[in-house]
Structures are given as C-alpha cells and as structure tokens.
Amino acid sequence: METGRVFISPYNDWDVLIGQGTLAVELCEQVPEIEVVFVAVGGGGLIGGVGAYLKHVSPDVEVVGCWPENSPVLYEAMKAGRIVPVDEKPTLSESTAGGLESDTITLGVCRR
C-alpha cells in the first residue's frame, strides 16, 4: 500500500553510511590509541562507515565484523565478491538480519 512516505535504506544510502561513521569519530576522541573495533554487521552501513573512517585516520586499526551465525548475508557476499543467495534462519539480532538490496553500496565499501 502506498503511504507517500520516502524509504531510506538503513545501510544502502551514502548519507546514512557516513552518518554511521560518526561513531568512529567519537571512538577516536575517547580512545585515541584504538587497536581493534568489533562492529555488528547487517547490511554493512555501520561497519562501512566506521571502517572507512577508522582506516582513513588510523590504517593499522583492525575492524572486525560480527555477524549472527544465522544471517551471514554480507559475509558470504564479501567472500564471493558479489551478492549471493544465503539461507537465513531466525535470529534474536533483528538489526543484523536480512538480505541485501541488489544495488547495495556497502559491498564494495566493506570489502575495502
């Protein structure tokens, strides 16, 4: 049903991805000597934004993606270098579950 509302993807949007990267700015301000950051991964917006900023300001920082075992959609796409079908199972981590849009910007960002 059409509602007249505009849909903005929680990951497949440059402004959203950049906005999520501001978390890394705050991390760097609070912990200047960051060595490793663990980031929850769904569609890749959060880890894409955080990882892009951290790698820009401190290339030696290790950025670790954390996927729910039942929803490794972006993980499998990164391994394949393209979006691939993945069987998913229910997970308690709703914000990190679900498929990827076919034109996702996050696959390339996250692979870098």
- Report domain extents, the chain: 14-111
Q: What is the pLDDT of residue 1?
A: 63
CA distance 88 to 16: 25
pLDDT tens per residue across span 71-106 = 999 999 999 999 999 998 888 888 888 788 889 999
CA distance 90 to 102: 22
User: Would you say 70 and 40 are in contact if contact means Cβ atoms under 8 Å apart?
Assistant: no
pLDDT tens per residue across span 31-87 = 999 999 999 999 999 999 999 999 999 999 999 999 989 999 999 999 999 999 999
- pTM of the shown model: 0.90
Taken as a whole, the chain contains a residue count of: 112
- Asked if the 14-111 domain carries CATH number 3.40.50.1100, the reply is yes
